Amino acid sequence: MQYPFSVRKKGRETPPFLLRAAPDEGSGTRAIDHAASPVPSPLPLSRGERGSKLMRPNLLQSLAARVAERERAGLMRRARTVDATRGVRVTIGGHELLNFCSNDYLGLAQDARIVKALQHAADKCGVGSSAAHLVCGHRREHTRLEEALCEWTGRDAALLFSSGWLANLGVMQALLDRDGACVQDKWNHASLLDAAQLAGAMLKRYPHNDVDGAARQLEGTEGKPALLATDGVFSMDGDVAPLRELANVCRREGATLMVDDAHGLGVLGTHGAGSINDAGLSETDTPVLTATLGKALGCSGAFVAGSHALIEGLTQFARTFVYTTAMPPALAAAAHEAVRIARAEDWRRGKLLALITRFRNGAAQLGLPLADSRTAIQPIVLGGAGPAVAASRTLEAEGVLVTAIRPPTVPHGKARLRVALSAAHEEADVDRLLDALARLPR
């Protein structure tokens, strides 16, 4: 969930994983505690080993140096252990906090019906799927979930992946190679940006939501097969991509449009069918749809949906589908139940929208810098990492959890409180957040 930084410099590429690190702030990879676990010094070398071939940088020491640099910059990331969750309330370190940083937009992550579906399927099929889909890991629960996802998103076929990250990588590796070009919004999720590079394609980025910029980048790759990839809803800003305009550009330029709807599925569109549906577009306009099951659906895993030909191609060539264990069938059964509820219970979207409006009105009255977002993601951009962390700590002391999002997840000078609302919140919860925000020192 990061913004890209310059990743292609005059013929020399810096691998993106050297530029970015974790996914969601706070839920990222567990950071190394530099002080607690120093990197051991190497064993003494024998005389024969003291040759020039050993005069190379030590990888672990280089990594530790980068960690130390991050620590000096005050940008260390730490996973915090949540001891208990009760709806939108979480207990951390013995303190109960009102949570405004989860992606459980519809309030389904703890829904009793979904938990029951998971338990029931686990009783029947056990825990692990025991093999990749193409070996013997594909169960009836997977097929049913794929069918439900097709029906919901109005697509011919779907394929399950273990995570959104892997779905994006699988698509790009199947569709692109060194001869291909991938044109992307600069604010796309890290998984899209990294996937294009890992596929070996030429990556061209355009300024955020700049349709003319996207067109120019495509024109610059004339003659090459091209994929234009965009988030449907941008993960750190909550704004929606101009999908209709991008679809027109793709049609004109003969490029294929891919939409990652991680934050739109369940939230936007008729019965939550997502941002493509919300934009009135079809499978022909946006041939590739990816989305995670880990946000509005409250589960885990992901899928790609599109034509039979796309899904057949991915089944053959998406390495992150072929060479990995299928998601647990009980999880597929749980996600199936989550899809049923997300589609049927429109009141959840209605309630979420009312809470978004309440929050935006209240924040505007407080003079807070609101982003141009009509979705559950409502960032308050504060500028420096220091003020964002200080604001987050002050809110926490008042019993409200809103993680500070800092560089490199967002650009320097754009650190923020990423407020995420959920249908599981009540009006009183939003008012409590607003009260706490009002008391922040300015």
Ligand X SMILES: Cc1ncc(COP(=O)(O)O)c(C=O)c1O
Residues that bind ligand X (CB under 6 A): 1, 23-24, 163-165, 189, 191, 231, 235, 260, 262-263, 292, 294, 302
Partners of 417 in the β-ladder: 380, 404
Structure tokens at 36: 């607690």
Question: Of the two residues 189 and 204, which places its CB atom closer to ligand X in the complex?
Answer: 189
Question: Of the two residues 3 and 359, which places its CB atom closer to ligand X in the complex?
Answer: 3
Nearest distance in Å: CB 10, ligand X? 29
Nearest distance in Å: CB 236, ligand X? 8
Nearest distance in Å: CB 1, ligand X? 5
Question: Of the two residues 169 and 176, which places its CB atom closer to ligand X in the complex?
Answer: 169
Partners of 415 in the β-ladder: 383
Are 402 and 100 spatial neighbours (Cβ–Cβ below 8 Å)? Answer: yes
C-alpha span between 232 and 273 (Å, rounded): 12
**Helices within 280-384 (DSSP H only):** 308-317, 319-322, 329-344, 346-365
Are 232 and 276 spatial neighbours (Cβ–Cβ below 8 Å)? Answer: yes
Query: N- to C-terminal Cα distance for the chain?
Result: 28
Question: Of the two residues 221 and 277, which places its CB atom closer to ligand X in the complex?
Answer: 277
Question: Of the two residues 165 and 429, which places its CB atom closer to ligand X in the complex?
Answer: 165
Structure tokens at 377: 């993601």
- Indicate the SS3 state at residue 121: helix
Question: Of the two residues 260 and 337, which places its CB atom closer to ligand X in the complex?
Answer: 260
What length is written for the chain? 442
**Could you say which DSSP state residue 432 is in?**
H
Question: Of the two residues 314 and 368, which places its CB atom closer to ligand X in the complex?
Answer: 314
**Strands of 252-320, DSSP E:** 256-260, 288-292, 302-306
Are 215 and 204 spatial neighbours (Cβ–Cβ below 8 Å)? Answer: no
Nearest distance in Å: CB 21, ligand X? 13
Question: Of the two residues 188 and 221, which places its CB atom closer to ligand X in the complex?
Answer: 188
How many CB atoms are located within 10 Å of the residue 223 CB?
8
Nearest distance in Å: CB 261, ligand X? 8
In terms of Cα–Cα distance, which of 153, 205, 139, 199 is closest to 172? 199
Question: Of the two residues 23 and 137, which places its CB atom closer to ligand X in the complex?
Answer: 23
Nearest distance in Å: CB 295, ligand X? 7
Nearest distance in Å: CB 208, ligand X? 14
Question: Of the two residues 21 and 437, which places its CB atom closer to ligand X in the complex?
Answer: 21
Are 372 and 432 spatial neighbours (Cβ–Cβ below 8 Å)? Answer: no
Structure tokens at 409: 């997840």
Question: Of the two residues 266 and 437, which places its CB atom closer to ligand X in the complex?
Answer: 266
Question: Of the two residues 98 and 377, which places its CB atom closer to ligand X in the complex?
Answer: 377
Rg for the chain (alpha carbons), in Å?
22
How many CB atoms are located within 10 Å of the residue 88 CB?
21
DSSP string over 362-388: HHHHTT--B-S--SSEEEEEEESHHHH
Going by DSSP bridges, is the β-strand pair 95-99/400-401 parallel, antiparallel, or unpaired?
parallel
How many CB atoms are located within 10 Å of the residue 21 CB?
18
Nearest distance in Å: CB 322, ligand X? 18
Nearest distance in Å: CB 123, ligand X? 26
| Nearest residue to ligand X on Cβ basis | 164
Nearest distance in Å: CB 431, ligand X? 28
Structure tokens at 294: 């880990």
C-alpha span between 37 and 64 (Å, rounded): 10
Nearest distance in Å: CB 72, ligand X? 27
C-alpha span between 278 and 267 (Å, rounded): 10
Nearest distance in Å: CB 15, ligand X? 19
